[in-house]
Amino acid sequence: MAAQTGAALLLVGLLPYNLLVPEGDIVYSQRQVWKDPNNVLTSWDPTLVNPCTWFHVTCNLTTPDLGNAGISGTLIPQLGQLKNLQYLELYANNMSGSIPTTLGNLTLLISLDLYNNHLTGVIPSSLGAVGTQRFLRLHGNKLAGGILASLGRLMKLVELELQENTLTGTVPLEVLSLVLVGDLTELNVVQNNLAGTVKSSTQRVATVIQDTLKTTL
């Protein structure tokens, strides 16, 4: 199926029904820095009175998806001003650059799916402030640095997928504790540069996936 037909809705809860003009300006600013070879965003016309009519932008609460659409470019910091954003689904594209720290301002965010792109830099510690988040999937990028203890504040997190990056250090105890005191059922950190391994005997944990123990001769 062509990328254009496979791409449905980008942002859930992005805009209130009575759209504020600044929010529409932010969305259009993001579109301006993206390359869109499949023309999935051609309806994003700033001259329209109401951007709720733009294709891939919804003013109700339905499921979003702009994955595998061939879009490339960076994520602008202004995305953090979209207070009603609940889902940001940009997986399997050609996104580059870093993850904006301002995404930590999205207090209604449920799912952040940026996996299988070309993102670099570190995982922002500010993401630990998004207490509503249930799915954080950043795997298949080129993210570096460590897994931050601040992610251990995400008590509602169900899936944390950080595999196939270049992360270093160890998995913080604060994050591991989410399988006991939070809702975390899958933690995947394989194919990074992490030291050691983790195991858990609790039956509550569905999956904790990490590379086998690394030893020094």
What is the pLDDT, as a whole number, of residue 55? 62
Kindly list the strands in the beta sheet with 94-97, ordered across the sheet, starting from the edge strand earlier in the chain. 72-73, 94-97, 118-119
CB atoms within 10 A of CB 154: 24
- Return the bridge partners of 94, or none: 72
- Return the bridge partners of 57, or none: 11
Distance of alpha carbon 39 from alpha carbon 63, whole angstroms? 21
Least confident range of 63-67, 156-160, 165-169: 63-67
Q: What angle do CA 67, 73, 74 make, to 5 degrees?
A: 95
**Residues in contact with 49: Cβ distance below 8 Å, sequence separation at least 6, in sequence order:** none
Q: Check residue 29 and report its DSSP letter.
A: H
Q: Measuring CA to CA, which residue among 68, 59, 77 is closest to residue 11?
A: 59
Least confident range of 2-11, 97-106, 189-198: 2-11
Distance of alpha carbon 213 from alpha carbon 211, whole angstroms? 7
Q: At residue 82, does pLDDT exceed 80?
A: yes
pTM of structure: 0.78
Three-state DSSP at 156 gives: coil
Distances (CA, A) of 60 to 36, 67, 79, 82, 182: 24, 19, 18, 15, 29
CA 88 to chain centre: 6
Q: At residue 48, does pLDDT exceed 70?
A: no
Three-state DSSP at 9 gives: coil
Distances (CA, A) of 196 to 188, 193, 217: 14, 10, 14
Q: At residue 18, does pLDDT exceed 70?
A: no
* Beta strand 168-169 pairing with 135-137: unpaired
What is the pLDDT, as a whole number, of residue 67? 82
Q: Measuring CA to CA, which residue among 55, 59, 56, 60 is closest to residue 23?
A: 59
Q: Measuring CA to CA, which residue among 128, 72, 130, 80 is closest to residue 100?
A: 80
What is the pLDDT, as a whole number, of residue 36? 84
- Return the bridge partners of 96, or none: 118
What is the pLDDT, as a whole number, of residue 148? 94
User: Of 142 and 200, which is predicted with more confidence?
Assistant: 142
Q: Measuring CA to CA, which residue among 10, 9, 157, 16 is closest to residue 84?
A: 16
